[in-house]
Structure 1
Amino acid sequence: MIFLGNHWGTLYLAFEWIIRLAMLVLVPFRRSPEAARSWLLLVLFLPIPGLVLYLLIGRPRFPKWRRQRFADLPRAGAAGSAMTRTAKIFPPDIEPSRKPLADLISNLGNLPAVGGNAVELLDGYEDSIDRLCDDIDSARQHVHLLTYIFADDAIGKRVIEALGRACSRGVTCRVIIDALGSRPWATRAVATMRALGIDARQALPVRPFRWQPARADLRNHRKITVIDGLIGYIGSQNIVAADFRAGILNQELVARLMGPIVGQLQSVFISDWYLETGRHLVGSGLFPPSDDMGQVALQILPSGPDYPIAGSERLTVALIYAARKRVVITTPYFIPDEGLIEALQSAVLRGVDARLVVSSVQDQRLVGLAQRSFYAEMLRAGVRIFLYQGRLLHAKHVTVDDDMAMIGSSNVDIRSFTLNAEANLIIYSRHEIGRIRVLEKHYFAASHELHAAEWGRRVISHKVLENLARLVSPLL
């Protein structure tokens, strides 16, 4: 018995070391150094649980069937032709020094910059819902809505009722909601919508042991709406009450769009619809002829695990390197990788006024701890940090100098960069950037600016917890 016990103990230890050595070779492939270090640290201390977790969520890739479906997207069909046509009809007025960035975005997301657009920024939570419902009530052909969270609370019911009224007029309404993001409400919300004639679907449902399963960590985090191919919405706001988390009030920023850019939002929705249903949406009404609605040059960047390059991350870093005078990053979650940290450090060394606006209110404790572990490093580099008070500032945008901005669903964290499907709007317009700067001034005024001496005085237990959370931050 003693011999057998020693025998099995030796086999167990050998198995653990086989896992460690195998993962030492496997983990670094196609993975950032930060993520590789975190996985290897986990496997070093907990080989078997680490292996199981790695097999479940270790590789930021969709299953083979979805990758094949993404490869089969009809990019060269009606959507691609519409994008090419509108780009030629409405050439964007972009400062020459920003054209390389526009080319980068086009190569990352396959969508060109276009002119002839109008932008309306909506920062009032109820106002944006009111405007959305009014536009749905005016719809004549179709409404396409994609969001991470769709609740069946008072806000969700208002939108559902507007969609139901549209269906009763003969308008085709299609809705995609993320299955995990909307989990507490998804079943009821989808059932209610389908009863009203709305074609509602759950994106990436997690159904173990079923055909075409989805991973729990790869989510569709986009928030876009397209109405008749003429009006579009993009931003950070979900279809849920501002206070859906007890004691926390969300503050958002949404852009309402008119002009050729709406066709790009439409192409993103059509692609996601095909990925979830396997059905191509066709028809002349999807891409109506574009009118000249304004003077603003815009561009959409979709990103996510489907794409070979982390587009949102690549663009964020590029924007920081492109800054000449000022860069302001507004995000509820800030967990940067080494490339983004170096970009901010380089910006300050060039004399750029680099500012980070994050919320003092946090809704995710582990993420909040990991986020705070980066503050000392940012402050030492000369980045000014503003802690927004009173509300969870859920708005997500980056402004560069006075002529370029990015607004959308992407946080400045590794999850948004590599695991989530995101959609961001890029704005090339001094007038529109000026309007965002006004919002930023409000953020600064409503914030507590953090200073290095003050931050260094926090208790040692907080520092320990923050740095422990930072060890697993690439896995969050």
Structure 2
Amino acid sequence: MRLSSRPWRACHGLALRLFGLLCLAVLAGCASLPVIVPDLARRPGPPVQLEGARGPLSAAQSKAILERLRSGGQDTDIFARHLALEESIVGSPLTTGNQVQLLQDGPATYRAMFEAISAAQDHINMETYILDDDEVGQSLAQALIDKQRQGVQVNLIRDSAGTFSTPAAFFQRLMDNGIKVLEFNPVNPLAARKDWALNQRDHRKLLIVDGRTAFLGGINISSVYSGGSFSQGARDRARRVGTPAWRDTDLKLQGPVVAELQKLFLATWASQKGDPLAAKNYFPQLEGVGRQVVRAIGSSPEEPYSLIYATLLSAIGSAETSVYLTNAYFVPDPQLLAALEAAAGRGVDVKLILPSRTDSWLVFHAGRGYYEQLLRAGVKIYERHGVILHAKTALVDGVWATVGSTNLDWRSFLHNHELNAVVLGTEFGSQVQAMFDKDLAASDAITLAQWERRPLHLRLKELFARAWAYWL
């Protein structure tokens, strides 16, 4: 979702468009992004070391786990060629002993989130882009208020632009009941607590309960997610009300990686100069609860380059057999285009599942403007029909998977605070593969011959939309 599913915000909101117009003249001479990633040359590095519930594992233990992850997968060299480089780029540790549950669409995600909130004993930390004052938003607000009244401290970060249309009374009710609410980068410059930068937004979606359970992905708090995208009931409802279901993906995580996500939440709170938080057990002793190896990656425009972007380029550059991307907003810069084309050129099976319809007209047509170039390079493109595609997932060689909030566009890579989890191994990779195959079966293939015959009015829309790429 961009600023919202609502029509007035479908092209990222009037405020951002006006701001973009003011800056467009300054940026008109910039034909492409600067090189914002570090040197991704493949060089030998130190052995990858994993962290467990009680700290770093030995080199032998780490090697044994990585060998287990490698076994049973496709013939890939991604572990040797990518993981050490990823670690040097990102800095956050690979953690083992985690449990990861793949959640598809709003109903399953909300159900799991509300169960976790209901069981909270110490604190709830939540960070979201959109929090609508609708049925889902009101239910969440009441659940949080109920826990606050029980002595569970609730801390909420909400993006100012993403929640711009949510009434102030909605958040005042939360604060009146003791919940700490922090407005990220207020749209109103008079309310700014640090340097005002309208275009920098908090696009993360994160819920942490008791420092032990976390949720992240693409799902905002809004009733547009109330219907599952795969069920017949959802399709029937979409036909009745004229609004398609939203297709999205989230993760539920437990284990040592939750501490890394907690660090990111607290760092955002501190950087936004939020009021001091109540003393709670934000970092409980975490035991291993599963076999999944996970890395949490947060990106910020305040960093020299997007950490998520850098590690995605590294993964694509290391791919040996397959690169499968599902993404809601696809406006690639030259570096991502080159990585996808190079992978297809060396025989990697590169498939993109993109929307057939969207809540952002500009992004939709800007992305389509790259189809011909990619198709000629051997990249396979599919458009998901019957739903609003909002998922942001990737699977490389069947063993490197990521789910999060990051879109494949300049806004995510340059302007937004984003959050992803990278999960390694064939066990989780097979789940993502099954999900990808299911979406693929509900998608239409775009062929080069077909695309070359598209009408003139679509080509004109693509040209116009691509002029806005930097702001999308």
Where 1:412 maps in the other structure, the secondary structure is: coil
Where 1:328 maps in the other structure, the secondary structure is: strand
Aligned residue in 1 for 2:147 = 166
1:316 to 291, 312, 319: 312
| Cα displacement (A) at 1:339 | 0.8
- Give the AA of the match of 1:112: P
Rounded Cα–Cα distance in structure 2 between residues aligned with 1:139 and 1:290 = 16
1:142 aligns with 2:123: yes
CA-to-aligned-CA distance 1:19-67 (integer Å, 9 cap, x gap):
xxxxxxxxxxxxxxxxxxxxxxxxxxxxxx7568649xx9xxxxxxxxx
| Cα displacement (A) at 1:188 | 3.2
| Cα displacement (A) at 1:443 | 0.6
1:204 aligns with 2:191: no
Structure 2 length as normaliser, TM-score? Answer: 0.80
| Cα displacement (A) at 1:159 | 1.2
Aligned residue in 2 for 1:216 = 198
Aligned residue in 1 for 2:41 = none
| Cα displacement (A) at 1:369 | 1.3
Q: Is the alpha carbon distance of 1:168 and 1:281 closer, same or farther for their aligned partners in structure 2, counting shifts above 3 Å?
A: closer
Aligned residue in 2 for 1:237 = 219
1:277 aligns with 2:273: yes
Question: Where do 5+ consecutive residues of structure 1 fail to align?
Answer: 1-48, 59-82
CA-to-aligned-CA distance 1:200-225 (integer Å, 9 cap, x gap):
12111112355535322110000111
Aligned residue in 2 for 1:39 = none
Contact kept in structure 2, 1:251 and 1:391, CA below 8 Å = yes
Rounded Cα–Cα distance in structure 2 between residues aligned with 1:401 and 1:327 = 6
Contact kept in structure 2, 1:151 and 1:189, CA below 8 Å = no
Q: Is the alpha carbon distance of 1:368 and 1:51 closer, same or farther for their aligned partners in structure 2, counting shifts above 3 Å?
A: closer
Structure 1 length as normaliser, TM-score? Answer: 0.79
Contact kept in structure 1, 2:105 and 2:225, CA below 8 Å = no
Rounded Cα–Cα distance in structure 1 between residues aligned with 2:284 and 2:96 = 16
Contact kept in structure 1, 2:154 and 2:179, CA below 8 Å = yes
Rounded Cα–Cα distance in structure 2 between residues aligned with 1:53 and 1:202 = 30
Aligned residue in 2 for 1:392 = 388
Rounded Cα–Cα distance in structure 1 between residues aligned with 2:187 and 2:308 = 25
| Cα displacement (A) at 1:107 | 3.7
Aligned residue in 1 for 2:332 = 336
Contact kept in structure 1, 2:330 and 2:367, CA below 8 Å = yes
1:118 aligns with 2:99: yes
| Cα displacement (A) at 1:189 | 2.8
Aligned residue in 2 for 1:292 = 288
Q: Is the alpha carbon distance of 1:452 and 1:51 closer, same or farther for their aligned partners in structure 2, counting shifts above 3 Å?
A: closer
- Give the AA of the match of 1:205: P
CA-to-aligned-CA distance 1:127-184 (integer Å, 9 cap, x gap):
2111111111100000000010011211111111111111111000001110101111
Rounded Cα–Cα distance in structure 2 between residues aligned with 1:300 and 1:446 = 30
Contact kept in structure 1, 2:53 and 2:286, CA below 8 Å = no
| Cα displacement (A) at 1:87 | 4.2
| Cα displacement (A) at 1:361 | 1.2
CA-to-aligned-CA distance 1:242-298 (integer Å, 9 cap, x gap):
269983431111100010010011001000111123556585711111111011100
Where 1:335 maps in the other structure, the secondary structure is: coil
Rounded Cα–Cα distance in structure 1 between residues aligned with 2:209 and 2:225 = 27
1:442 to 438, 441, 462: 438
Q: Is the alpha carbon distance of 1:53 and 1:280 closer, same or farther for their aligned partners in structure 2, counting shifts above 3 Å?
A: farther
1:370 aligns with 2:338: no
Where 2:359 maps in the other structure, the secondary structure is: coil
Rounded Cα–Cα distance in structure 2 between residues aligned with 1:403 and 1:463 = 37
CA-to-aligned-CA distance 1:434-462 (integer Å, 9 cap, x gap):
01111111111100011011111111121
Q: Is the alpha carbon distance of 1:207 and 1:86 closer, same or farther for their aligned partners in structure 2, counting shifts above 3 Å?
A: farther
| Cα displacement (A) at 1:100 | 5.4
Contact kept in structure 2, 1:380 and 1:452, CA below 8 Å = yes
Q: Is the alpha carbon distance of 1:435 and 1:51 closer, same or farther for their aligned partners in structure 2, counting shifts above 3 Å?
A: closer
1:349 aligns with 2:345: yes
Where 1:285 maps in the other structure, the secondary structure is: coil
Where 2:350 maps in the other structure, the secondary structure is: strand
Runs of 4+ in structure 1 off by over 6 angstroms are none
Aligned runs of 1:435-474 on 2, under 5 Å? Answer: 435-474=431-470
- Give the AA of the match of 2:56: K
1:405 aligns with 2:397: no
CA RMSD for the aligned pairs?
A: 2.4
Question: Relative CO higher for 1 or 2, CA cutoff 8 Å, sep ≥ 6?
Answer: 2
Q: Is the alpha carbon distance of 1:162 and 1:103 closer, same or farther for their aligned partners in structure 2, counting shifts above 3 Å?
A: farther
| Cα displacement (A) at 1:353 | 0.4
Identity of counterpart residues, as a percentage?
A: 28
Contact kept in structure 1, 2:125 and 2:207, CA below 8 Å = yes
| Cα displacement (A) at 1:323 | 1.1
- Give the AA of the match of 1:88: P
Q: Quick check: 123-132 or 97-106, which moved more? A: 97-106
Where 2:272 maps in the other structure, the secondary structure is: helix
1:176 aligns with 2:157: yes
CA-to-aligned-CA distance 1:409-446 (integer Å, 9 cap, x gap):
00011110110000110001211110111111111110
Aligned residue in 1 for 2:261 = 265
Contact kept in structure 2, 1:304 and 1:419, CA below 8 Å = yes
Where 2:295 maps in the other structure, the secondary structure is: strand
Question: Where do 5+ consecutive residues of structure 2 fail to align?
Answer: 1-20, 31-50, 71-76, 227-240
Rounded Cα–Cα distance in structure 2 between residues aligned with 1:85 and 1:128 = 26
- Give the AA of the match of 1:202: E
Rounded Cα–Cα distance in structure 2 between residues aligned with 1:291 and 1:461 = 58
Rounded Cα–Cα distance in structure 1 between residues aligned with 2:23 and 2:428 = 49
Q: Is the alpha carbon distance of 1:132 and 1:455 closer, same or farther for their aligned partners in structure 2, counting shifts above 3 Å?
A: same
Rounded Cα–Cα distance in structure 1 between residues aligned with 2:325 and 2:293 = 21
Rounded Cα–Cα distance in structure 2 between residues aligned with 1:428 and 1:468 = 40
Rounded Cα–Cα distance in structure 2 between residues aligned with 1:316 and 1:414 = 14
Rounded Cα–Cα distance in structure 2 between residues aligned with 1:248 and 1:165 = 33
Contact kept in structure 2, 1:105 and 1:111, CA below 8 Å = no
CA-to-aligned-CA distance 1:288-314 (integer Å, 9 cap, x gap):
111110111000111021212221221
Aligned residue in 2 for 1:44 = none
Contact kept in structure 2, 1:205 and 1:213, CA below 8 Å = no
